[in-house]
A and B are shown apart, each in its own frame.
With several copies, the nearest count.
Chain A
Protein backbone atom coordinates (compact mmCIF):
# COMPACT_ATOMS: atom_id res chain seq x y z
CA UNK A 1 0.00 0.00 0.00
CA UNK A 2 2.77 2.37 0.76
CA UNK A 3 3.82 2.67 -2.83
CA UNK A 4 0.40 3.78 -3.87
CA UNK A 5 0.19 6.51 -1.36
CA UNK A 6 2.82 9.02 -2.34
CA UNK A 7 0.17 11.35 -3.68
CA UNK A 8 -3.13 12.29 -2.10
CA UNK A 9 -4.86 11.19 -5.25
CA UNK A 10 -3.25 7.83 -5.02
CA UNK A 11 -4.42 7.49 -1.47
CA UNK A 12 -7.90 8.01 -2.63
CA UNK A 13 -7.62 5.28 -5.17
CA UNK A 14 -6.78 2.65 -2.60
CA UNK A 15 -10.19 2.95 -0.98
CA UNK A 16 -9.35 1.58 2.41
CA UNK A 17 -11.86 1.21 5.26
CA UNK A 18 -14.12 4.23 5.30
CA UNK A 19 -14.00 6.83 7.95
CA UNK A 20 -17.53 7.45 9.22
CA UNK A 21 -19.14 10.05 7.05
CA UNK A 22 -20.00 13.37 8.49
CA UNK A 23 -22.83 15.45 7.20
CA UNK A 24 -21.28 18.82 6.63
CA UNK A 25 -23.46 21.77 5.80
CA UNK A 26 -26.04 19.26 4.83
CA UNK A 27 -24.07 18.31 1.78
CA UNK A 28 -23.47 14.69 1.04
CA UNK A 29 -19.73 14.61 1.24
CA UNK A 30 -19.09 11.05 0.39
CA UNK A 31 -15.79 11.44 -1.32
CA UNK A 32 -14.03 13.61 1.18
CA UNK A 33 -13.12 11.00 3.73
CA UNK A 34 -11.52 8.91 1.01
CA UNK A 35 -9.55 11.92 0.06
CA UNK A 36 -8.69 12.46 3.64
CA UNK A 37 -7.51 9.02 4.37
CA UNK A 38 -3.78 9.06 4.21
CA UNK A 39 -1.71 6.22 5.54
CA UNK A 40 0.55 7.50 8.30
CA UNK A 41 3.83 6.92 6.56
CA UNK A 42 2.67 8.97 3.63
CA UNK A 43 1.86 11.98 5.72
CA UNK A 44 5.35 13.36 5.74
CA UNK A 45 5.55 13.03 1.99
CA UNK A 46 2.13 14.54 1.76
CA UNK A 47 3.06 17.61 3.72
CA UNK A 48 6.24 18.02 1.77
CA UNK A 49 4.14 18.28 -1.33
CA UNK A 50 2.68 21.51 -0.02
CA UNK A 51 4.28 24.87 0.10
CA UNK A 52 2.71 25.74 3.43
CA UNK A 53 -0.75 26.18 4.93
CA UNK A 54 -2.05 28.44 2.15
CA UNK A 55 -1.10 25.84 -0.40
CA UNK A 56 -2.76 23.10 1.61
CA UNK A 57 -5.90 25.19 1.97
CA UNK A 58 -5.97 25.89 -1.72
CA UNK A 59 -5.65 22.20 -2.37
CA UNK A 60 -8.58 21.44 -0.10
CA UNK A 61 -10.68 24.15 -1.68
CA UNK A 62 -9.92 22.85 -5.15
CA UNK A 63 -10.73 19.30 -4.14
CA UNK A 64 -14.16 20.55 -3.23
CA UNK A 65 -14.54 22.53 -6.42
CA UNK A 66 -15.08 25.57 -4.31
CA UNK A 67 -14.48 29.11 -5.29
CA UNK A 68 -11.97 30.87 -3.12
CA UNK A 69 -14.39 33.72 -2.72
CA UNK A 70 -17.06 31.39 -1.54
CA UNK A 71 -15.29 29.06 0.82
CA UNK A 72 -17.27 26.86 3.07
CA UNK A 73 -15.16 27.75 6.04
CA UNK A 74 -16.49 25.13 8.41
CA UNK A 75 -15.89 22.33 5.97
CA UNK A 76 -12.44 23.50 4.98
CA UNK A 77 -11.55 24.06 8.60
CA UNK A 78 -12.69 20.57 9.51
CA UNK A 79 -10.59 19.02 6.74
CA UNK A 80 -7.62 21.13 7.57
CA UNK A 81 -7.84 20.18 11.23
CA UNK A 82 -8.10 16.52 10.29
CA UNK A 83 -4.85 16.73 8.38
CA UNK A 84 -3.11 18.62 11.11
CA UNK A 85 -4.46 16.26 13.71
CA UNK A 86 -3.30 13.24 11.75
CA UNK A 87 0.12 14.68 11.24
CA UNK A 88 0.45 15.56 14.90
CA UNK A 89 -0.76 12.17 15.98
CA UNK A 90 2.06 10.65 13.98
CA UNK A 91 4.45 13.06 15.63
CA UNK A 92 5.77 14.35 12.39
CA UNK A 93 7.30 17.69 12.77
CA UNK A 94 4.88 20.32 11.69
CA UNK A 95 5.92 23.76 10.62
CA UNK A 96 4.59 26.42 12.95
CA UNK A 97 2.82 28.12 10.08
CA UNK A 98 0.38 25.23 9.86
CA UNK A 99 -0.60 25.68 13.49
CA UNK A 100 -1.01 29.43 13.11
CA UNK A 101 -3.34 28.77 10.22
CA UNK A 102 -5.28 26.25 12.32
CA UNK A 103 -5.79 28.92 14.96
CA UNK A 104 -6.92 31.43 12.35
CA UNK A 105 -9.40 28.98 10.92
CA UNK A 106 -10.73 28.17 14.35
CA UNK A 107 -11.22 31.86 15.00
CA UNK A 108 -13.09 32.38 11.78
CA UNK A 109 -15.30 29.44 12.48
CA UNK A 110 -16.16 30.63 15.97
CA UNK A 111 -16.94 34.10 14.71
CA UNK A 112 -19.33 32.76 12.20
CA UNK A 113 -21.23 30.96 14.93
CA UNK A 114 -21.68 34.14 16.88
CA UNK A 115 -24.30 36.65 15.89
CA UNK A 116 -22.75 39.35 13.84
CA UNK A 117 -22.30 42.62 15.60
CA UNK A 118 -23.08 45.77 13.83
CA UNK A 119 -20.01 47.50 15.12
CA UNK A 120 -18.32 49.90 12.80
CA UNK A 121 -14.98 49.04 14.12
CA UNK A 122 -12.96 49.65 11.01
CA UNK A 123 -9.84 48.21 12.53
CA UNK A 124 -11.61 44.96 12.88
CA UNK A 125 -10.95 43.30 9.54
CA UNK A 126 -13.15 40.36 8.90
CA UNK A 127 -10.74 37.46 9.39
CA UNK A 128 -12.48 35.53 6.64
CA UNK A 129 -11.98 38.34 4.18
CA UNK A 130 -8.39 38.52 5.26
CA UNK A 131 -7.98 34.80 4.71
CA UNK A 132 -9.54 35.05 1.28
CA UNK A 133 -7.28 37.92 0.42
CA UNK A 134 -4.24 35.90 1.38
CA UNK A 135 -5.46 32.84 -0.49
CA UNK A 136 -6.10 34.88 -3.58
CA UNK A 137 -2.77 36.59 -3.32
CA UNK A 138 -0.95 33.34 -2.80
CA UNK A 139 -2.77 31.65 -5.64
CA UNK A 140 -1.84 34.29 -8.16
CA UNK A 141 1.85 33.91 -7.37
CA UNK A 142 1.56 30.16 -7.33
CA UNK A 143 0.16 30.52 -10.83
CA UNK A 144 2.89 33.02 -11.74
CA UNK A 145 5.50 30.50 -10.60
CA UNK A 146 3.95 27.91 -12.87
CA UNK A 147 3.95 30.41 -15.71
CA UNK A 148 7.60 31.22 -15.17
CA UNK A 149 8.37 27.52 -15.21
CA UNK A 150 6.71 27.35 -18.63
CA UNK A 151 8.73 30.14 -20.18
CA UNK A 152 11.29 28.75 -22.60
CA UNK A 153 14.58 28.89 -20.81
CA UNK A 154 18.21 28.21 -21.44
CA UNK A 155 19.61 24.72 -20.96
CA UNK A 156 16.17 23.21 -21.20
CA UNK A 157 14.32 24.66 -24.17
CA UNK A 158 17.18 26.32 -25.94
CA UNK A 159 20.93 26.44 -25.80
CA UNK A 160 23.35 29.23 -26.50
CA UNK A 161 24.93 28.76 -29.91
CA UNK A 162 28.67 29.07 -29.99
CA UNK A 163 31.39 28.18 -32.43
CA UNK A 164 35.04 27.40 -31.90
CA UNK A 165 37.43 30.31 -32.20
CA UNK A 166 39.99 30.66 -34.93
CA UNK A 167 43.43 31.90 -34.04
CA UNK A 168 42.86 35.35 -32.65
CA UNK A 169 45.30 38.19 -32.85
CA UNK A 170 46.77 38.78 -29.45
CA UNK A 171 46.36 42.39 -28.68
CA UNK A 172 46.88 44.16 -25.46
CA UNK A 173 45.14 47.43 -25.28
CA UNK A 174 47.02 50.28 -23.73
CA UNK A 175 45.63 52.30 -20.88
CA UNK A 176 44.72 55.86 -21.64
CA UNK A 177 46.68 58.57 -19.96
CA UNK A 178 45.62 62.15 -19.59
CA UNK A 179 48.21 64.90 -19.55
CA UNK A 180 46.74 66.00 -16.24
CA UNK A 181 47.55 62.63 -14.72
CA UNK A 182 51.09 63.00 -15.90
CA UNK A 183 51.39 66.45 -14.38
CA UNK A 184 49.88 65.34 -11.10
CA UNK A 185 52.36 62.50 -10.97
CA UNK A 186 55.21 64.89 -11.66
CA UNK A 187 53.95 67.31 -9.09
CA UNK A 188 53.89 64.54 -6.54
CA UNK A 189 57.37 63.35 -7.26
CA UNK A 190 58.85 66.83 -7.39
CA UNK A 191 57.27 67.76 -4.11
CA UNK A 192 58.71 64.67 -2.54
CA UNK A 193 62.12 65.40 -3.98
CA UNK A 194 61.80 69.04 -2.99
CA UNK A 195 63.01 70.02 -6.39
CA UNK A 196 60.88 73.13 -6.64
CA UNK A 197 63.11 74.98 -4.29
CA UNK A 198 66.33 73.98 -5.98
CA UNK A 199 65.28 75.47 -9.32
CA UNK A 200 67.22 72.60 -10.72
CA UNK A 201 64.54 71.48 -13.10
CA UNK A 202 62.80 74.70 -13.71
CA UNK A 203 65.66 76.59 -15.20
CA UNK A 204 66.09 74.28 -18.06
CA UNK A 205 64.34 74.81 -21.30
CA UNK A 206 62.59 71.69 -22.31
CA UNK A 207 63.47 72.23 -25.93
CA UNK A 208 67.11 71.95 -24.90
CA UNK A 209 66.45 68.69 -23.14
CA UNK A 210 64.65 67.39 -26.16
CA UNK A 211 67.54 68.34 -28.38
CA UNK A 212 69.94 66.63 -26.00
CA UNK A 213 67.99 63.41 -26.48
CA UNK A 214 68.05 63.93 -30.18
CA UNK A 215 71.78 64.48 -30.35
CA UNK A 216 72.40 61.41 -28.24
CA UNK A 217 70.29 59.30 -30.53
CA UNK A 218 72.25 60.59 -33.52
CA UNK A 219 75.43 59.62 -31.74
CA UNK A 220 74.37 56.03 -31.27
CA UNK A 221 77.26 53.64 -31.58
CA UNK A 222 80.94 54.18 -31.59
CA UNK A 223 81.21 56.76 -34.30
CA UNK A 224 82.22 60.35 -34.69
CA UNK A 225 79.84 62.80 -36.18
CA UNK A 226 80.85 66.17 -37.47
CA UNK A 227 79.80 69.00 -35.20
CA UNK A 228 78.11 70.86 -38.04
CA UNK A 229 75.88 67.93 -38.92
CA UNK A 230 74.14 68.36 -35.57
CA UNK A 231 72.74 71.67 -36.79
CA UNK A 232 69.86 72.10 -39.13
CA UNK A 233 70.02 75.45 -40.83
CA UNK A 234 66.34 75.40 -41.68
CA UNK A 235 65.59 75.75 -37.99
CA UNK A 236 66.97 79.23 -38.04
CA UNK A 237 68.85 81.08 -35.37
CA UNK A 238 66.77 79.76 -32.48
CA UNK A 239 67.29 76.18 -33.58
CA UNK A 240 71.00 76.67 -33.79
CA UNK A 241 71.05 78.18 -30.32
CA UNK A 242 69.04 75.29 -28.88
CA UNK A 243 71.37 72.73 -30.46
CA UNK A 244 74.39 74.59 -29.20
CA UNK A 245 73.02 74.79 -25.67
CA UNK A 246 72.13 71.12 -25.81
CA UNK A 247 75.67 70.26 -26.91
CA UNK A 248 77.16 72.31 -24.09
CA UNK A 249 74.85 70.66 -21.59
CA UNK A 250 75.81 67.24 -22.91
CA UNK A 251 79.48 68.09 -22.54
CA UNK A 252 78.89 69.39 -19.07
CA UNK A 253 77.10 66.20 -18.12
CA UNK A 254 79.99 64.31 -19.67
CA UNK A 255 77.72 62.53 -22.04
CA UNK A 256 79.62 63.47 -25.19
CA UNK A 257 83.14 64.39 -26.05
CA UNK A 258 84.25 66.88 -28.60
CA UNK A 259 87.39 66.26 -30.55
CA UNK A 260 89.33 68.67 -32.72
CA UNK A 261 92.47 67.22 -34.24
CA UNK A 262 94.04 70.52 -35.28
CA UNK A 263 93.36 74.19 -34.78
CA UNK A 264 90.55 75.31 -37.07
CA UNK A 265 90.19 71.73 -38.22
CA UNK A 266 86.84 69.92 -38.31
CA UNK A 267 85.20 69.34 -34.93
CA UNK A 268 83.90 65.86 -34.25
CA UNK A 269 81.46 64.74 -31.62
CA UNK A 270 81.07 61.31 -30.10
CA UNK A 271 79.02 59.80 -27.30
CA UNK A 272 81.33 59.20 -24.37
CA UNK A 273 79.65 56.06 -23.33
CA UNK A 274 80.51 54.55 -26.66
CA UNK A 275 84.25 54.71 -26.07
Chain B
Protein backbone atom coordinates (compact mmCIF):
# COMPACT_ATOMS: atom_id res chain seq x y z
CA UNK B 1 0.00 0.00 0.00
CA UNK B 2 1.66 3.19 -1.11
CA UNK B 3 1.89 6.59 0.56
CA UNK B 4 -0.59 8.22 -1.74
CA UNK B 5 -3.17 5.58 -1.02
CA UNK B 6 -2.68 5.94 2.74
CA UNK B 7 -2.98 9.71 2.48
CA UNK B 8 -6.29 9.26 0.73
CA UNK B 9 -7.62 6.94 3.42
CA UNK B 10 -6.47 9.47 5.98
CA UNK B 11 -8.34 12.29 4.25
CA UNK B 12 -11.47 10.17 4.01
CA UNK B 13 -11.24 9.28 7.71
CA UNK B 14 -10.83 12.94 8.58
CA UNK B 15 -13.74 13.89 6.33
CA UNK B 16 -15.97 11.26 7.94
CA UNK B 17 -15.03 12.23 11.50
CA UNK B 18 -15.78 15.87 10.74
CA UNK B 19 -19.01 14.95 9.01
CA UNK B 20 -20.10 12.81 11.95
CA UNK B 21 -19.25 15.33 14.65
CA UNK B 22 -19.18 12.46 17.12
CA UNK B 23 -16.92 9.52 17.82
CA UNK B 24 -16.63 6.81 15.19
CA UNK B 25 -15.26 3.40 15.97
CA UNK B 26 -12.47 1.81 14.01
CA UNK B 27 -15.03 -0.53 12.49
CA UNK B 28 -17.33 2.29 11.48
CA UNK B 29 -14.42 4.00 9.78
CA UNK B 30 -13.46 0.85 7.95
CA UNK B 31 -17.01 0.29 6.82
CA UNK B 32 -17.00 3.56 4.94
CA UNK B 33 -15.00 1.69 2.35
CA UNK B 34 -16.38 -0.85 -0.05
CA UNK B 35 -15.37 -4.42 0.58
CA UNK B 36 -12.86 -4.35 -2.25
CA UNK B 37 -11.05 -1.30 -0.90
CA UNK B 38 -11.53 -1.69 2.84
CA UNK B 39 -8.33 -1.08 4.78
CA UNK B 40 -7.21 -3.70 7.28
CA UNK B 41 -7.53 -2.84 10.96
CA UNK B 42 -3.82 -2.22 11.33
CA UNK B 43 -3.80 0.03 8.30
CA UNK B 44 -6.68 2.01 9.73
CA UNK B 45 -4.93 2.30 13.06
CA UNK B 46 -1.82 3.51 11.31
CA UNK B 47 -3.82 6.04 9.33
CA UNK B 48 -5.42 7.36 12.51
CA UNK B 49 -2.00 7.75 14.05
CA UNK B 50 -0.92 9.76 11.02
CA UNK B 51 -4.09 11.82 11.26
CA UNK B 52 -3.36 12.53 14.90
CA UNK B 53 0.11 13.75 14.00
CA UNK B 54 -1.17 15.85 11.15
CA UNK B 55 -3.34 17.81 13.58
CA UNK B 56 -0.36 19.01 15.57
CA UNK B 57 -0.30 22.77 15.76
CA UNK B 58 -3.85 23.03 14.48
CA UNK B 59 -7.05 24.04 16.23
CA UNK B 60 -8.26 20.50 16.71
CA UNK B 61 -6.99 17.10 17.70
CA UNK B 62 -7.87 13.44 17.41
CA UNK B 63 -8.94 11.91 20.69
CA UNK B 64 -9.73 8.32 21.50
CA UNK B 65 -12.79 7.99 23.72
CA UNK B 66 -14.98 5.08 24.75
CA UNK B 67 -17.01 4.91 21.52
CA UNK B 68 -14.09 5.43 19.19
CA UNK B 69 -12.22 8.35 17.74
CA UNK B 70 -13.35 11.94 17.82
CA UNK B 71 -11.98 15.13 16.32
CA UNK B 72 -12.36 17.89 18.84
CA UNK B 73 -11.23 21.40 19.61
CA UNK B 74 -7.99 21.56 21.54
CA UNK B 75 -8.58 22.39 25.17
CA UNK B 76 -6.21 25.33 25.05
CA UNK B 77 -8.54 27.11 22.63
CA UNK B 78 -11.70 26.56 24.67
CA UNK B 79 -11.59 30.10 26.13
CA UNK B 80 -11.89 31.60 22.65
CA UNK B 81 -14.20 29.05 21.16
CA UNK B 82 -16.46 29.27 24.23
CA UNK B 83 -17.26 32.88 23.24
CA UNK B 84 -19.14 31.53 20.25
CA UNK B 85 -21.85 30.30 22.53
CA UNK B 86 -23.95 32.73 24.44
CA UNK B 87 -24.80 30.26 27.11
CA UNK B 88 -22.17 29.58 29.66
CA UNK B 89 -21.20 25.93 29.93
CA UNK B 90 -23.57 24.24 32.30
CA UNK B 91 -22.44 23.86 35.85
CA UNK B 92 -23.55 20.82 37.72
CA UNK B 93 -24.56 20.85 41.37
CA UNK B 94 -22.48 19.08 43.94
CA UNK B 95 -25.41 16.80 44.63
CA UNK B 96 -25.49 15.73 40.99
CA UNK B 97 -21.74 15.29 40.76
CA UNK B 98 -21.62 13.27 43.97
CA UNK B 99 -24.41 11.04 42.73
CA UNK B 100 -22.64 10.65 39.40
CA UNK B 101 -19.37 9.85 41.17
CA UNK B 102 -21.05 7.15 43.24
CA UNK B 103 -22.62 5.61 40.17
CA UNK B 104 -19.34 5.79 38.27
CA UNK B 105 -17.18 4.25 40.98
CA UNK B 106 -19.68 1.92 42.61
CA UNK B 107 -21.78 0.68 39.72
CA UNK B 108 -24.12 -1.06 39.66
CA UNK B 109 -25.64 0.88 42.55
CA UNK B 110 -29.17 1.61 43.72
CA UNK B 111 -30.52 4.96 44.78
CA UNK B 112 -30.79 3.68 48.34
CA UNK B 113 -27.12 2.77 48.39
CA UNK B 114 -26.22 6.21 47.11
CA UNK B 115 -28.33 7.75 49.84
CA UNK B 116 -26.64 5.61 52.47
CA UNK B 117 -23.25 6.94 51.53
CA UNK B 118 -24.26 10.55 50.95
CA UNK B 119 -26.40 10.64 54.09
CA UNK B 120 -29.20 12.48 52.29
CA UNK B 121 -32.00 11.61 49.93
CA UNK B 122 -31.16 11.77 46.27
CA UNK B 123 -33.72 13.88 44.48
CA UNK B 124 -35.57 12.33 41.57
CA UNK B 125 -34.54 15.35 39.53
CA UNK B 126 -30.91 14.39 39.75
CA UNK B 127 -31.54 10.85 38.62
CA UNK B 128 -33.75 12.10 35.80
CA UNK B 129 -31.12 14.59 34.64
CA UNK B 130 -28.47 11.88 34.61
CA UNK B 131 -30.75 9.54 32.68
CA UNK B 132 -31.75 12.26 30.22
CA UNK B 133 -28.15 13.18 29.58
CA UNK B 134 -27.62 9.48 28.99
CA UNK B 135 -24.75 9.46 31.40
CA UNK B 136 -26.34 6.69 33.42
CA UNK B 137 -28.82 3.96 32.71
CA UNK B 138 -30.69 1.27 34.56
CA UNK B 139 -28.85 -2.02 34.21
CA UNK B 140 -31.12 -4.17 36.32
CA UNK B 141 -32.95 -4.40 39.57
CA UNK B 142 -31.58 -5.55 42.85
CA UNK B 143 -33.28 -8.64 44.17
CA UNK B 144 -34.47 -7.06 47.40
CA UNK B 145 -37.89 -5.84 48.45
CA UNK B 146 -39.04 -3.12 46.11
CA UNK B 147 -36.65 -4.34 43.45
CA UNK B 148 -34.84 -1.01 43.22
CA UNK B 149 -33.20 -0.07 39.93
CA UNK B 150 -29.45 -0.40 39.70
CA UNK B 151 -27.64 2.34 37.85
CA UNK B 152 -24.44 2.24 35.83
CA UNK B 153 -22.65 4.76 33.68
CA UNK B 154 -22.82 4.68 29.90
CA UNK B 155 -20.49 5.04 26.98
CA UNK B 156 -21.86 8.54 26.47
CA UNK B 157 -20.69 9.43 29.95
CA UNK B 158 -17.18 8.27 29.11
CA UNK B 159 -17.29 10.07 25.76
CA UNK B 160 -18.49 13.28 27.34
CA UNK B 161 -15.66 13.23 29.86
CA UNK B 162 -13.02 12.26 27.30
CA UNK B 163 -12.42 8.86 28.82
CA UNK B 164 -11.86 5.59 27.04
CA UNK B 165 -12.92 3.51 30.02
CA UNK B 166 -13.84 3.60 33.68
CA UNK B 167 -10.27 2.69 34.54
CA UNK B 168 -9.28 6.17 33.43
CA UNK B 169 -11.30 7.80 36.18
CA UNK B 170 -9.12 9.43 38.83
CA UNK B 171 -8.41 6.84 41.51
CA UNK B 172 -10.55 6.95 44.62
CA UNK B 173 -8.78 7.93 47.78
CA UNK B 174 -8.29 4.99 50.07
CA UNK B 175 -10.45 4.29 53.03
CA UNK B 176 -9.09 2.92 56.22
CA UNK B 177 -10.29 -0.37 57.41
CA UNK B 178 -13.09 -0.19 59.95
CA UNK B 179 -11.48 -2.60 62.36
CA UNK B 180 -8.30 -0.64 62.26
CA UNK B 181 -10.24 2.51 62.96
CA UNK B 182 -11.98 0.76 65.79
CA UNK B 183 -8.72 -0.20 67.45
CA UNK B 184 -7.36 3.26 67.09
CA UNK B 185 -10.47 4.84 68.49
CA UNK B 186 -10.35 2.61 71.46
CA UNK B 187 -6.85 3.75 72.19
CA UNK B 188 -7.77 7.35 71.68
CA UNK B 189 -10.85 7.07 73.81
CA UNK B 190 -8.91 5.60 76.62
CA UNK B 191 -6.54 8.46 76.24
CA UNK B 192 -9.37 10.92 76.33
CA UNK B 193 -10.94 9.40 79.35
CA UNK B 194 -7.70 9.16 81.18
CA UNK B 195 -6.70 12.75 80.71
CA UNK B 196 -10.17 14.05 80.28
CA UNK B 197 -8.47 15.50 77.27
CA UNK B 198 -6.80 18.60 78.66
CA UNK B 199 -4.83 18.35 75.54
CA UNK B 200 -6.00 15.65 73.30
CA UNK B 201 -2.52 15.78 71.88
CA UNK B 202 -1.74 12.68 73.86
CA UNK B 203 -2.96 10.67 70.96
CA UNK B 204 -1.94 12.98 68.24
CA UNK B 205 1.49 11.69 67.23
CA UNK B 206 -0.06 8.47 66.10
CA UNK B 207 -2.93 10.00 64.36
CA UNK B 208 -0.82 12.56 62.63
CA UNK B 209 1.20 9.85 61.08
CA UNK B 210 -2.02 8.55 59.66
CA UNK B 211 -3.16 11.98 58.65
CA UNK B 212 -5.61 12.12 55.88
CA UNK B 213 -3.29 13.80 53.45
CA UNK B 214 -4.26 12.67 49.96
CA UNK B 215 -3.58 9.02 50.19
CA UNK B 216 -3.48 8.53 46.52
CA UNK B 217 -2.30 11.10 44.08
CA UNK B 218 -5.40 12.26 42.41
CA UNK B 219 -3.61 13.43 39.38
CA UNK B 220 -5.54 13.78 36.21
CA UNK B 221 -3.91 12.59 33.15
A241 to chain B, nearest CB (A): 13
Contact at B139–A273, with CB atoms within 8 Å? no
> A207 and B176 in contact (CB under 8 A), knowing A166-B74, A185-B98, A271-B140?
no
Q: How distant is the Cα of A51 from the Cα of B147 in the complex, in angstroms? A: 27
Q: How distant is the Cα of A135 from the Cα of B150 in the complex, in angstroms? A: 24
- In the complex, whether A177 has a CB less than 8 A from a CB of chain B is yes
Q: How distant is the Cα of A217 from the Cα of B200 in the complex, in angstroms? A: 60
Contact with A along B128-153 (1 / 0, CB 8 A): 00000100010111110001001011
- In the complex, whether B3 has a CB less than 8 A from a CB of chain A is no
Contact residues of A: prevailing secondary structure: helix
Q: How distant is the Cα of A154 from the Cα of B190 in the complex, in angstroms? A: 51
- In the complex, whether A176 has a CB less than 8 A from a CB of chain B is yes
Contact at B175–A207, with CB atoms within 8 Å? no
Contact with B along A153-172 (1 / 0, CB 8 A): 11111111111111111011
In the complex, which residues of chain A have a beta carbon less than 8 angstroms from the beta carbon of B70? 160-161, 163-164
B51 to chain A, nearest CB (A): 12
Contact at B106–A148, with CB atoms within 8 Å? no
Chain A residues within 8 Å of chain B by Cβ, number = 102
Query: Could you say which of A68, A144, A183 has the most chain B C-beta atoms within 10 Å of its C-beta?
Result: A144
Known: A52-B118, A210-B165. 13 other contacts (CB 8 A): A26-B199, A52-B120, A67-B211, A72-B200, A141-B101, A144-B102, A150-B170, A152-B161, A161-B73, A174-B89, A185-B101, A210-B107, A255-B108
A-B pairs with beta carbons under 8 Å apart, 18 shown:
A95-B121, A140-B174, A141-B172, A144-B170, A144-B173, A148-B161, A154-B160, A157-B78, A161-B73, A166-B75, A167-B75, A176-B89, A177-B92, A179-B170, A186-B102, A186-B172, A207-B167, A213-B153
